Structure formats: structure tokens, C-alpha cells
Amino acid sequence: MIPFCHTFFAEEVAEAPLPPAPVNLFKIGGFDVNNSMIAAVIASIAIIILVQIAMRAPKLVPSGLQNLVEAMVEALSNFIESITGRETMLRGFWYFAGIFVFVFAENFLALMPGVGTFGWGHGDTIWNFKVDQPFLRGANANANMTAAYAAIFFVMWFYWCFKGIGVSGVVKDLFGSKVKFGNVALNLGFGLLFFVVGLIEVFTILLIRPIAFTFRLYGNIYGGETFLDTIYHNAPNPFLATLFLIPAYMWEFVVAFIQAFVFFILTVVFTGILTNSHAGEHKEKEAAH
């Protein structure tokens, strides 16, 4: 077993499809470390270094990287505020902006040369070497990682909503009747209907949406990696493999941004449905006082 690069010029033998789970590489105190975790750490370090370089000597009139970072922060904060309201934006900016930047960085890193091609493997020569345990794999092609994003979001969602509109506001929004009639019987009937709908909504919030958040991102990123892997291993020769992979990689770069933005926008909108819908009520109460 030796580390090497799986090159386009290797004489391929029949290989198993890309595994759906990352590969464990080593242990730290009994804790398994896999290749997706290493990619996530690298993405985190890259983001920290980039921001530190950009803001190491901030100027009153920004330029270069500082201008890029400040423009991104301003654009994201304004966008989030327009959907969730200012108070929730201030409370949750760290998560909303962080998840967008982090997911995009991880998706981008997964498309870099060497990811999935350098690692432990076997082969007699350079030309027929096969990588069995790549050192790096797309961090979001790991369902545990995307499940962690979803778990953190839904814990924080309850906090933001309860903090923003109160427990009574959340209960009213979930179970309260959205229509009022002069007829008592109609009010009772619709009240029961909206209560049942509220129970379904609670079930959706606690179970369905976390699963959907987890597997939407994982499925798209893993599917993209499988797409590239399939093209590479089924092309009749190295020239055609390279020819087909160039547009495929360009498309996956677009997907890397789209999937980061979709995950980001879903978290923002899902939060804003409750927090911003009551913003007008709070402003009216404050004006009355």
C-alpha cells in the first residue's frame, strides 16, 4: 500500500462505484477521522486565513480582499434582514452567512485537483495504480456533515423564533385559526381544522424538514461526484475522458454555488416565515406605546 495519484493515463481495471460514505483514514483517541472531515478542516482553515488576510489592516476606504469581504457581509446582511427582520438577522447572521460561505467553500474544494485521486492504493506501476482510500473527499458528500448543519439550524430556529415572537407567537402561528367568521360554528370548525394542520406542521418541522435538509445537499453533492467519477471511468480513452470532464467540471462549479445558496436561502426563508411575519405587529405595538 503506497500513496500515489490516480492519473488519467492509468490503465483502468473494473472498479466499484463511488462509495456513498467517506473512508476512515485513522483514529484520534478512538475517534475515527475520515477523508470528508479532513476536507472540512481544510475548507475552514482556508476561510479563516482569507478573512484574516483581508482584515489584518482594515482601511477606512476598503480595497482588494477587504472590499470583497465587506461587500459580501453587507449584501448578505441586507438580504437576510429583508426576509427575517433586523432582530433575527443580528441574532442569526453568524449561522446564515457562515453556512453559505462554508458550504460553498467545501463544494468548491471538492472539485480541486487531487480530491479523490490522491491516497492509499495498490498497483504494480504508475500507470495501473488504483486509489482505494483517497485522502480527501467532498465534505458535503457525507450525510453526517449535512445532518449536523440541519441539526444546528433547527435547534437555533426554535431559539430565534421563541426569542423573536415568543412562545405564544409560535403557538398562535402554528395552531391559530387564520380566518374569522361571525358564525360561532364556523369559527370552531376552522379552529379545529387549523389545529390539525398545526399538528402536521409540527411533525414536519421535527422530522420531515431535518431529513430533507440533510439529504437534499448530500444527494446533490454526492450525485455530482458520482457523475464525474462515472464519466472518468467509462470514457473509452484518456483524451475523451478529459474532453467530457471539462464541461462536466464547469457545470459542477455552478452546482457548487447553487447548492450552497439553496441551503442558505431555505434556512433564511424558513426562519423568516415566522419571525418577519410578526414584524408589523411588533412595530404597531411599539408605535401604540
pLDDT of residue 187: 73
Write down the H helix ranges in 142-237: 143-175, 184-203, 209-234
Scored b (16 or more CB within 10 A) or e, 232-255 reads beebeeeeebeeebeebeeebeeb
Decide: helix, strand or coil at residue 32.
strand
Looking at the predicted structure, is the pLDDT value of residue 176 above 90? no
Partners of residue 3 on adjacent β-strands: 120
Name the CA dihedral angle for 66, 69, 71, 77, rounded to a multiple of 10 degrees: -140
Q: What is the pLDDT of residues 194-251, one digit of tens each?
A: 788 888 888 888 888 899 999 999 999 988 888 888 887 777 777 777 788 888 889 9
Higher pLDDT, 30 or 150: 150
Cα R_g (the chain), whole angstroms: 24
Q: How does the average pLDDT of the chain come out, rounded? A: 80
Contacts of 159 (CB under 8 A, 6+ apart): 91
SS3 call for 31: strand
Q: Give dist(CA 206, CA 213) in Å, integer.
A: 12
Taking a C-beta distance cutoff of 8 angstroms, is the pair 173, 158 a contact? no
- SS3 of the chain: helix, strand, coil, percent, to 5: 70, 10, 25
Instruction: For 142, list phi and psi in degrees, rounded to 5.
Output: -135, 110
User: Among residues 19, 22, 66, 20, which one has the least CA distance to residue 41?
Assistant: 22
Region 101-119: what's the mean pLDDT? Answer: 83
pLDDT of residue 11: 39
All three cell numbers of 226, joined, read 458520482
Helix 209-234 × helix 238-275 angle, to 10°: 170
In this prediction, residue 136 carries a pLDDT of 81
Kindly report, residue by residue over 148-159, the tens digit of the pLDDT.
Answer: 999 999 999 989
Model confidence at 254, pLDDT cuts 50, 70, 90, reads very high
pLDDT at res. 6: 40
Work out the pLDDT band at 93, boundaries 50, 70, 90.
very high
Quickly state the pLDDT bin for 96 (edges 50, 70, 90).
very high
> Do 161 and 274 touch, CB atoms closer than 8 A?
yes
Question: Which residues contact residue 35 at a Cβ distance below 8 angstroms, ignoring those fewer than 6 apart?
Answer: 22, 23, 25, 119, 133, 134, 135, 136, 137
